[in-house]
Amino acid sequence: MSKKEIKDEIVEEAVDNANLESTLENDNDESAIETEDQELIEIDPIAVLEGKLEGEKERYLRLFAEFENYKKRTMKERIELFKTAGQDVMVSILPVLDDFDRALKEFSDESEDVHVQGMQLISNKLSEAVKQKGLEASETNAGDLFDADLHEAITQIPAPSDDMKGKIIDVIEKGYKLGDKIIRYPKVVIGQS
């Protein structure tokens, strides 16, 4: 064998040895990586569970807040319902109150008559009974300024004087409120400008 061939053979052996060492180191590195991966696998479930726990805590807090809002909303609706529970009954009684007012107005000169006094007594009892349930007449008088949010104009007539333009000339039908809610707007006649 020539020197060159021997030299080439030694270089090949050195390269093979280097490759072998490299392969062994890679195998050792892979086993180290596998060992680290196994450790990470053991740690990862805890991190995953902690993440899930945080998610469930947040979901619980949101659900709790929604439930609290639901309780507040239903409580408010229930209070409103109790306040206006008798609204249908009160609306059906309003024509009776109007009839009493018209009758008493018609018989105002005969206030000494026993029948008129009996009718006044019944009217007062009925008025007090509905007032205890929260029904009250709205205060609207001739000469008040017309407000479309509070009054219902049924007609306009020429104003008798300049200061009555845009004001209430006559109240045809009383308005009523049940608590803070208007259940019937007063029907009025307004002066035309």
Q: Is the pLDDT of residue 26 over 80?
A: no
Q: Is the pLDDT of residue 53 over 70?
A: yes
Burial of 108 (0-12, 13-18, 19+ CB in 10 A): exposed
Measured between alpha carbons, how far is 16 from 8 in angstroms, rounded to an integer?
Answer: 12
Percent of the chain whose pLDDT exceeds 90 = 27
Fold type of domain 87-192 = Nucleotide Exchange Factor Grpe; Chain A, domain 2 (2.30.22)
Residue 22 is predicted with a pLDDT of: 54
Q: Residue 165: helix, strand or coil by DSSP?
A: coil
Q: Residue 41: helix, strand or coil by DSSP?
A: helix
Instruction: Read off the amino acid at residue 189.
Output: V
Of the listed ranges 2-16, 109-123, 145-159, the least confidently predicted one is: 2-16
> Mean per-residue pLDDT for 24-42?
48
Of the listed ranges 35-44, 68-77, 91-100, 111-120, the least confidently predicted one is: 35-44
Instruction: Decide: 152 and 186 in contact? Cβ < 8 Å.
Output: yes
Instruction: Decide: 168 and 124 in contact? Cβ < 8 Å.
Output: no
Which residue did the predictor score with more confidence, 13 or 125?
125
pTM higher than the cut 0.75: no
Burial of 106 (0-12, 13-18, 19+ CB in 10 A): exposed
